[in-house]
Structure 1
């Protein structure tokens, strides 16, 4: 892709990363299983050591506040540790219980470089999502430790009490368990063994309830995310419409208007020669005819940029095939891979079309690439359309803020268009290449 740069909104409100906003936990919970019991027992055993490690880091950080550096190092380690723990807890919940708990929205920094990293740490540590994850981990760890200790204690009693009672009956009557008759000891052992088994079998039910209580996003957070997403989509729609108006104005001014002016001048000159010099007038009329055909071609190109007819008539696959064919004609060997089992909403197809068309235009104009690849597939499980454009040219393309209406039709315009469709737009383009432009578009409400 090009070294030409385009947009990041740079708004005061940070964007949001939302892998899943499906709401409440879904699916059938598997609380009575070997995996659930094993998860609780392993968690309880690990708690004897792991419980103190994050807590020690937190205490060290707080006690190191006067030194600043020690506090910052401890804070960074604690944040990364608990972020990893949160991920592991969600993977564990899905593998053990299969609850399909939604991931809370995470605010992302809009800065770049080191400032982005530092700001992201602050956003994480100041979010309710982070501290809910910390609370969940310690509540579950404490419960697992207590449940495992209780089961181990009951199990130990079940084996030791009868043995001690029998040993007491055959030795000194003054021993400590002489008050416990052997039959009663066996009865209590059976009860303790049954209780230990019940704790191991039914204890994970509370584990699952703790997950269901603390892992999902709160209703307030979900509503805040929805409001933020709608505001961002509205801003993207407004700026995208403005950008599109500038592009149409520029295309008409730079391509169609000069041809029409030339056509009018040629026809006017032919009129002056019509009586005095008929052969010259005929040549001028033929020239005007050629100019009129060229103007029609330019108008078709402008219309294609607004609403391609082939997209409405034959669908996204055929429209993208046409775009890829033009890219091949421009000297960039381009392949197309499309997996679309059904037609998509018009606005989704239009957005995907313009992402591919503009990205390939940038490839042919700026990247010096020899090969490009376009991949379009529908993820029916998530009901999302994934669009990717790869090129092997020089890199350096990025989305930047700016008011230049010439550049606004590039990556910045694509970012605005995708945001208006409530999708996500990313550009991966290291200085040496290659460049990958990716858009993920939701295909339904």
Structure 2
């Protein structure tokens, strides 16, 4: 996604004459309403400041004024984005992060310092002034046009705008001044577009860049945590599984070597035992490498890889996968490992008797495909994301891929885990 402003998907840009007319109507409405709203806001602010020192009631008025300004700024962003077909994220209120009065006050402070809100409100104020000037220009144009044709009444002097008396022979020259009024109105239309798009668009690009930085930071942290958990898991599996088995194989072969001359039959039995242990170690190594990355994903795709997982699961799995084809490798891998780890957790902790896995491909507003998966079991519930746990590993891997997870696991069950991972066809 680029930082340039684009027309939203599915929205047809208005033709220039139609957009000019819409802008004219917008300015007319803003010029009329702004003459009432802006003085009211100034009076509200002054009353809030005055009553704050006298009764303290003014603080509540100032809080209400903040909500009003936020609402007006949000409407201004929506208005400009719809009028000029701009792809601009709506203004979002910054909520308190914890319950209580103190976090609420800090939330008000964060919203009060929201530069995007004040920029949008400034754009609204400028648009109201431009609308008032445009209406004055249109009124000037209409009055002077009427004056210009007043000599048709055969009067020696005609009444001009604002009580002026003009000789009848000079009245036709008022058409030139009427054209100036029309030019003033038209210039306000183009000025409105330049100013509002400049203000709203620049703040939108800044907000988009900030969000991209935040998202990148979250993905990087998730990738680092996922890599750390994966390294810990590999070390644990090697230390607790494959390494002791290989040590046992070496000891068994050592005993067989010592008894190969004195007791050949016992040596053969020990070699056979070492051979069986070697096969088990190879199987464990295959499972370990499959946990790092499943080669079947590259060979046959996500549907086949999930079928293999369902076939090895200790819990009966109802698999419902409907995909149109192959998707981005990182997205398929993230969904695969999320489902694999979720089924492993269900087998270990949930005491479930059945599990259902649903996988779909979805397309968003900007033709951005996402892989969506839902894993449900009828177990005892109560699953929580704890640091170092299986669900924490799923969360980190999905975050690293730019996705999100949703966990719903009340006490008593059932448990449902949803995974969304962005990808491309």
Tell me the TM-score normalized by structure 1. Answer: 0.68
- Segment of structure 1 superposing worse, 306-315 or 370-379: 370-379
Q: Kindly provide the CA deviation profile for residues 148-189 of structure 1, in whole angstroms up to 9, marking residues without a partner as x.
A: 3443x236525764798778949999xx97933557556636
- C-alpha distance in 2 between matches for 1:297 and 1:70: 74
1:123 matches 2:110: yes
**Partner secondary structure for residue 231 of structure 2:** helix
Tell me the TM-score normalized by structure 2. Answer: 0.71
Matching residue of 1:132? 119
Residue 146 of structure 1 deviates from its aligned partner by: 3.2
- C-alpha distance in 1 between matches for 2:147 and 2:6: 45
Contact in 2 for aligned 1:373/1:389 (Cα 8 Å): yes
Contact in 1 for aligned 2:307/2:319 (Cα 8 Å): no
Matching residue of 2:75? 88
- Segment of structure 1 superposing worse, 430-439 or 207-216: 430-439
Residues paired across the two proteins, number: 407
Residue of 397, 407, 410 corresponding to 1:417: 397
**Partner secondary structure for residue 79 of structure 2:** helix
- C-alpha distance in 1 between matches for 2:51 and 2:317: 58
**Partner secondary structure for residue 216 of structure 1:** helix
Contact in 2 for aligned 1:168/1:177 (Cα 8 Å): no
Q: Residue 257 and residue 417 in structure 1: after superposition, are their counterparts in 2 closer, same or farther (change >3 A)? A: same
Residue 37 of structure 1 deviates from its aligned partner by: 2.6
Question: Which of 1 and 2 has higher RCO (CA within 8 Å, sep 6+)?
Answer: 1
**Partner secondary structure for residue 437 of structure 1:** strand
- C-alpha distance in 1 between matches for 2:324 and 2:182: 51
**Partner secondary structure for residue 166 of structure 2:** coil
Residue of 131, 143, 146 corresponding to 2:133: 146
- Greater CA radius of gyration, 1 or 2? 2
Matching residue of 2:59? 71
Residue of 401, 418, 422 corresponding to 1:437: 418
Residue of 294, 299, 310 corresponding to 1:313: 299
| 1:274-313 matches, cutoff 5 A | 278=265, 290-313=276-299
- Segment of structure 1 superposing worse, 301-310 or 226-235: 226-235
Matching residue of 2:336? 353
Residue 357 of structure 1 deviates from its aligned partner by: 3.3
Residue 247 of structure 1 deviates from its aligned partner by: 1.5
- C-alpha distance in 2 between matches for 1:439 and 1:326: 24
Residue 301 of structure 1 deviates from its aligned partner by: 1.9
- Segment of structure 1 superposing worse, 176-185 or 128-137: 176-185
**Partner secondary structure for residue 330 of structure 1:** coil
1:46 matches 2:33: yes
Residue 289 of structure 1 deviates from its aligned partner by: 5.0
Contact in 2 for aligned 1:102/1:216 (Cα 8 Å): no
In structure 1, stretches of 5+ residues that fail to align are 1-20
Matching residue of 2:406? 427
1:249 matches 2:235: yes
| 1:175-214 matches, cutoff 5 A | 179-181=165-167, 185=171, 188=174, 192=178, 203-214=188-199
Q: Kindly provide the CA deviation profile for residues 3-59 of structure 1, in whole angstroms up to 9, marking residues without a partner as x.
A: xxxxxxxxxxxxxxxxxx632434578654233333333333332444356555555
**Partner secondary structure for residue 215 of structure 1:** helix
Matching residue of 1:23? 3
- C-alpha distance in 2 between matches for 1:30 and 1:64: 50
Contact in 2 for aligned 1:388/1:437 (Cα 8 Å): yes
- C-alpha distance in 2 between matches for 1:220 and 1:172: 56
Contact in 2 for aligned 1:147/1:199 (Cα 8 Å): yes
Contact in 2 for aligned 1:102/1:217 (Cα 8 Å): no
Residue of 337, 343, 359 corresponding to 1:374: 359
Q: Residue 221 and residue 425 in structure 1: after superposition, are their counterparts in 2 closer, same or farther (change >3 A)? A: same
In structure 2, stretches of 5+ residues that fail to align are 8-12
**Partner secondary structure for residue 51 of structure 1:** helix
Contact in 1 for aligned 2:158/2:171 (Cα 8 Å): no
Q: Residue 216 and residue 234 in structure 1: after superposition, are their counterparts in 2 closer, same or farther (change >3 A)? A: same
